[in-house]
Amino acid sequence: MRAVIQRVTKASVTIENKKVASINSGLLILVGIVNEDTKEDIEWLTKKIANLRIFNDENNVMNKSLLDVNGDAIIVSQFTLHASTKKGNRPSYIIAAKPDVAIPLYEQFVSSFETVLKKKVQTGEFGADMKVELLNDGPVTIIIDTKDKK
């Protein structure tokens, strides 16, 4: 699993002119899934993101996690995170998992994140044409891949 985590002061997802998700302070998490992803990837990534110390403490130092600040999250599926641009100018998405594999893993990731946060996590809609708006706070943007664990 590959995730792009953005600390936001606000974020929203709109589908067909209808706002389906909206948060204030928290994280916008874009997640891409490949066939090899497992429950272990989900659990590792969930804990890693929820505990990332990327929110400011009272001294204005990034020393608090999403859990510490009781922040909200929006999770959006994004197969393009697995784009290969090695050959030519048209990205290839061949390693991105097809919906029959990706949807159950995406839903498990959302559920796992809700369990760790102990509250509802907002989402986009898998496979939909989504308009994602955000105000990146910092800016703070972090990329994590469970295959690299860096």
- Which residue among the candidates 9, 38, 46, 80 is catalytic per the annotation? 80
Helix (H) or strand (E) holding 128: none
Tell me if residue 80 is catalytic: yes
Helix/strand/coil percentages in the chain, nearest 5: 25, 40, 35
Cα 16–chain centre separation: 21
Task: Write the burial class of residue 15 (CB in 10 Å: 0-12 exposed, 13-18 middle, 19+ buried).
Answer: middle
Cα three-residue angle 88-94-95, rounded to 5 degrees: 120
Q: Catalytic positions, please?
A: 80
